[in-house]
Structure 1
Amino acid sequence: MATARTASEPCFTDRTAAGRLLGVTVARHLGNVGLTRCPLVLALPRGGVPVAAGVAAAVGAELDLVVARKIGAPGRPELGVGALAEDGEPVFDRGLLGELGLTPQDLDGTVAAERAELDRRIRAYRGDRPAAEVADRVVIVVDDGVATGVTARAALRWLRGRGARPLVLAAPVCSHEADRSLAADADLVICLRRPERFGAVGRFYRDFAQLGDADVLAVTAAR
C-alpha cells in the first residue's frame, strides 16, 4: 500500500478549484505507478462531485458516481459512526461505537432512514441507469475531504467487492487518522493536505456552500 501526500497547499477557494489542484497531483501519481489505462473517477455526492470533475478532466477519465450515506450517532448526526454505500451492508467504526457505548443494533432506525435517503439519491442521480462497471478497472474515488473516513471506507469496500482494482482514494484534505486507516481499503491514498489538527472539512475552503441534487445533476449531465 502507498500513501501520497504533499505537506503544504493553500486553503482552497472552492471545490472546483480544489478539484483542479487535486487532478494535477492524481495525474502525476497515476503516471508514476503506471495506472493511466482507462481510469474511472467516481464522485461521492454531493460535495465530491465538483472536485471529481476536475480530477476526471486532468486524468482523461470517465466521471460517474458512487453513492454513500453517513450513519450518524444518536443525537449527534454529524458524528459518523458508520456508513452505507449503494446496495452494500453498513460499515461501522467499531472503536467509536465502543467509546459511545453503542451496538450496531442500536442504530437500526438510523440505518433504515439513511438507506431510504441513499435509495432516493440513486434514483435522482442515476434513474434507471445501472452503476458503472468497475471490475478490473483503475477506479478513483473522490470526495471534498475525509474526516473520519467511514463514508469513504463504505464506498471503497463496496467497490472492492465488485472487483475494482486498483482502487484509489483522492481528496483535497484528509485527517491523519483517515489517511492511515483507509490505506487498508485503498491501494493508493492521495491527499493534498494532511493537517495536524483537522476539525471540519469546511474550514479548508473559503467557499464551502451546501450543494443540492441540482448541483450534482448539473455536473454529471455535462460529462
Structure 2
Amino acid sequence: MIQFKDRQDAGRQLARALREYSDGDSVIYALPRGGVVLGSEIANTLHIPLDLVITRKIGHPSNPEYAICAVSEDGELVCNEVEKAFVNKDWLKNAVAKEVKEAARRREVYLRGIKHIPATNITAIVVDDGVATGLTIKAALQSLRKEKPKKLMVAIPVAPHDTLNELRGSADEVVVLEDAKDYLGAVGAYYAYFPQVTDEEVIKLLTRL
C-alpha cells in the first residue's frame, strides 16, 4: 500500500503532524541520507534548525547486508543481542571503531565544520524516512539522550507495529504516519518513488539552510 509520493511528500505530511513545534525551542536531527530529505522539509516548514545524528549499521561478518548492530558517531551501540552473542568480540570491537570513524568522516563531509547543535534542554526530534528493525534510530536516541533534552521525539512516516512499541520505550513521544501492523518488508514499499539519496544531495539540502 503506497502512502507517500516520495520523501518530500512524507516530510510535508510529517511537518503538518509536528506543527505545534514550529518556531520554538526544537531541533530536527535527521539520519542521513534519506532522513535529511524529510528533515529539510520539516525544518523549513516549521522554521526550526536542522542538524544530523549519524549512525552506522554493522553487518553480520558472514552476511554484511544483515545488520546486527548500529553505532552512533559518539560510540553508542545498539545490537540484536541474540546475533551479537554469536560473533567474535574482537571482530565487533574493530567493526564498531571503523564505523564510528566513518560517521565522523560523514559529518565533516556533510556539514563541513558546522558544529553540532546540543540537544540540552530542547525538544529533539529524530527524523528518518522510515524504520524497519529500529537499530539505527535507537542508537541515535541513545546518543541524544545523553545530552539531556527536555523532550526526545521520533518522527517517521512508517514503521512495523512491533518496532514502534520498542521505540516508545526509548523516546518520550513517537509521531508516525503509518503504523504498519502488516509490514510490507521494506520501507520503500510505502513510497511511489524511493531512489537512493546521494552525498551530493545531502550536502545541497544542508547548504540551503
**Counterpart in the other structure of 1:21:** 13
2:183 match: secondary structure: coil
Contact 1:148–1:177 (CA<8 Å) still a contact in 2?
no
Question: Structure 1 pair 51/201, CA: closer, same or farther in 2 (3 Å)?
Answer: same
**Counterpart in the other structure of 1:176:** 161
**Counterpart in the other structure of 1:38:** 25
CA distance in 1 between partners of 2:115 and 2:204 (Å): 19
1:203-218 equivalence runs, <5 A: 203-218=189-204
Contact 1:147–1:198 (CA<8 Å) still a contact in 2?
no
Count of residues in correspondence between the two structures: 208
Residue by residue, what CA displacement relative to the aligned partner does 1:116-157 show, whole Å, maximum 9, x if unpaired?
Answer: 321210110123232112100011010000101110011111
Question: Structure 1 pair 78/160, CA: closer, same or farther in 2 (3 Å)?
Answer: same
What value does the CA root-mean-square deviation take over the aligned residues? 2.0
Structure 1 length-normalised TM: 0.85
Q: Give % identity.
A: 36
Say yes or no: does 1:146 pair with 2:131. yes
Aligned match of 2:74 in 83, 87, 93?
Answer: 87
Structure 1 residues not aligned, in runs of 5+: 1-8
CA distance in 2 between partners of 1:119 and 1:130 (Å): 12
Contact 2:131–2:159 (CA<8 Å) still a contact in 1?
yes
CA positional deviation for 1:74: 2.0
Runs (4 or more) in structure 1 with deviation over 6 Å come to none
Say yes or no: does 1:57 pair with 2:49. no
Residue by residue, what CA displacement relative to the aligned partner does 1:49-97 show, whole Å, maximum 9, x if unpaired?
Answer: 1111122233331111111111122233332221111223322221443
1:91 match: secondary structure: strand
Structure 2 length-normalised TM: 0.90
1:100-115 equivalence runs, <5 A: 101-102=86-87, 104-115=89-100
1:194 match: secondary structure: strand
2:175 match: secondary structure: strand
Contact 1:19–1:54 (CA<8 Å) still a contact in 2?
yes
CA distance in 1 between partners of 2:3 and 2:15 (Å): 16
